[in-house]
Amino acid sequence: MSCFVIGNWKMNLLQVSAQDLVKGLVDRGAVSDDRVSVVVCPPYTLLACMHDLTAQGIMLGGQNCHHASKGAFTGEISAEMLSDLGCRYVILGHSERRRDYNESDADVGHKAKLAREAGLVPVICLGETLSERQDGATFDVIERQLRGLIDAAGIDVVASSVIAYEPVWAIGTGLAATSQQAQEVHARIREVLVGRGFTSHVPLLYGGSVTADNASELFACPDIDGALVGGASLKAEEFAKIVDHARRQPA
Ligand code: PEP
């Protein structure tokens, strides 16, 4: 099974700097092959000018989509619009959206359904906050998020998605989860999915301060199938090294 390295550019870059970054990735060979799927998720404004990326082996994803398929939703973007611009993936339920826009597990599930209908693969984020971890509630939170997601989206949609475990306390802090902490949550997610009757292998990515220095150890964990990368995805050399670590994992 190939693993994933997905870059979340968030609200960064303009056309020229984005083209420079992509050129830096292609020059360093940070492109998809049979071992690793490389995806970048630029802001909406850059999607059209990133259109020819797929020909170079880098797939495109959106960072969010709306929970309705079309209509009077000023300022919003539908899953079908992302697909129309060449996206194959869409990040859903990122903790920044859950926190800043009150997105619930059910909202994320509805979006995932529409994303699948539009031919996109949802990359669904979940994870606990620092206080939830300190309270010993990590597994409860993960299980609640998974339950809400599956109830809203259905097993078939979640089975054809990618799940990213992103502990909120590790995002953008430079304080990544240890490989042991990440592995135990991934194993739990896997257990919950099997318990709910999932038979297919849902790729489980880790996200939260992944760098070229910690990627290899994380990728070596049995239940970690890749990474969702924020800050380090904006630096060509760093992101390319992460892709390289993914490629070097035994199949
Ligand atoms: C993210 O925002 O999805 C993320 C993982 O960010 P960072 O890698 O910067 O922690």
Q: How far is the centre of ligand 1, averaged over its atoms, from the C-alpha of 155 (Å)?
A: 27
Give me the domain span that covers residue 130: 3-247
- Find the residues whose C-beta lies inside 6 A of ligand 1: 8, 94, 166, 171-172, 207-210, 228-232
Q: How far is the centre of ligand 1, averaged over its atoms, from the C-alpha of 110 (Å)?
A: 23
Which residue has tokens 């992101």? 239
Q: How far is the centre of ligand 1, averaged over its atoms, from the C-alpha of 72 (Å)?
A: 31
Choose which residue among 64, 210, 233, 234 to substitute to test ligand 1 binding: the one with the highest number of ligand atoms within 8 A of its C-beta.
210
Nearest to 89, CA basis, from 46, 45, 50, 38: 38
Per the confidence metrics, is the pTM higher than 0.95?
yes
Q: How far is the centre of ligand 1, averaged over its atoms, from the C-alpha of 206 (Å)?
A: 10
Phi-psi region of 203 (alpha: psi -120 to 50; beta: other; left: phi over 0): beta
Residue 70, both tokens: 């079309």
> Residues near 192 by Cβ (< 8 Å), separated by ≥ 6?
142, 143, 146
Q: Return the ligand 1 atom nearest residue 96 CA.
A: 2
Query: How far from 239 is each of 9, 21, 122, CA to CA, in Å?
Result: 11, 10, 21
Distance from C-alpha of 206 to C-alpha of 183, rounded to nearest angstrom = 9
Distance from C-alpha of 111 to C-alpha of 113, rounded to nearest angstrom = 5
Q: How many domains does the chain have?
A: 1
Whether 82 contacts 62, CB under 8 Å: yes
Q: Return the ligand 1 atom nearest residue 209 CA.
A: 10
| CATH assignment at residue 26 | 3.20.20.70
Low-confidence ranges of the chain (pLDDT < 50): none
Active site (catalytic) residues: 94, 166
